[in-house]
Amino acid sequence: MAPPKLKRNFPPITEYNGTSSPHESVAADLDGTLLISRSSFPYFMLVAVEAGSLLRGFILLLSVPFIIFAYLFVSESLGIQMLIFISFAGLQFDAIELASRAVLPRFYAADVRRESFEVFDRCKRKVVVTANPTVMVDAFVKDYLGGDKVLGTEIEVNPKTKKATGFVKKPGVLVGDLKRLAVVKEFGDELPDFGLGDRKTDHDFMSICKEGYMVPPNKSAKPVPQERLKSRIIFHGHFIQRPDPLNAAISFAWIPFGFILSIIEVYLNLPLPDLVRRWQIFGIPSPQEGNQSR
């Protein structure tokens, strides 16, 4: 039987002194906790474009106002379900897995928060519990953070076509009490020594840990030097900058404009190197480079 939820206040991660209890095990949230950013949108955008298409990414961008409304005023679970459906529906599972393994780590690695990583890395058994799809974060957590397991949302895949349906498997999106139940199932009677989270919906699983620490939002939080991670980062993909909604909007707006500038550079022989270089934000060579390659 799962232990009852214990409501209590949690000190900030800055109060962790490194010696208060044995460093045996930890259960930590991802977005806003192990990562500086609290938003998972950029990573869904990366999967939508890399495993899908620019059109899918554009549809996801247009859906942002509706996703935010659902997340804030209906439920966190519904907002994440919308992200999953728009980003994944109809994509081959293998393509999602490949994009998550080859493209996402570079952007995740630049966003790892130092204070929480120090606690996470000290523990022998390291588990990440997240609302994000397991397939998105599993490779990064294990290969770059040294995690042992990811407890995340499991996406539904059509067994015949091997394509994601856009829906999730039971029990659903892993938020709130579902995170607690997942931690209880994973750890059994030996519950984690540390619970790390950044929002109220993390209190459910943090309350059953021996110690819990909140990771409050901090714009000046420092990332972990990439040499501290467990593997070397290799860049793949089209995006140069992390595609948060503003960067993604600028990138999509630049596509037709950048193409026009590329044509002008080639046919009018105007020196526009700095502007045309921006056309490569999606990894597409300019017409001039295409001609030179021939």
User: pTM, whole model, 2 decimals?
Assistant: 0.84
If pLDDT is split at 50, 70 and 90, which confidence band does 292 have?
very low
Looking at residue 20, the DSSP 8-state letter turns out to be S
Mean pLDDT score across all residues of the chain: 86
- Model confidence at 223: pLDDT above 80: yes
- The CATH architecture that domain 14-222 belongs to is 3-Layer(aba) Sandwich (3.40)
Answer with the residue of higher pLDDT: 273 or 157.
157
- Model confidence at 28: pLDDT above 70: yes
| Short-list 6, 58, 116, CA closest to 250 | 58
Whole-number Å distance between alpha carbons of 155 and 79: 15
pLDDT at 264: 61
- Model confidence at 149: pLDDT above 60: yes
Answer with the residue of higher pLDDT: 245 or 83.
83
If pLDDT is split at 50, 70 and 90, which confidence band does 230 have?
confident
pLDDT digits (tens, 9 = 90+) for 43-77: 999 999 999 999 999 999 999 999 999 999 999 99
pLDDT at 241: 79
Q: Where are the alpha helices (DSSP H) in 48-176?
A: 54-62, 64-73, 76-88, 93-102, 104-109, 114-122, 134-144
Q: Where are the alpha helices (DSSP H) in the chain?
A: 41-47, 54-62, 64-73, 76-88, 93-102, 104-109, 114-122, 134-144, 177-187, 203-206, 245-268, 273-277, 287-293
- Model confidence at 8: pLDDT above 90: no
- DSSP letter string, 68-98: HHHHHHT-HHHHHHHHHHHHHTT-BHHHHHH
Task: Please report, for the chain, the start and end positions of each structural domain, with discontinuous segments joined by +.
Answer: 14-222, 245-293
> Which range (8-12, 51-55, 98-102, 132-136) has the least confidence?
8-12
Q: What is the mean pLDDT of residues 174-193?
A: 94
Q: What is the mean pLDDT of residues 93-111?
A: 94
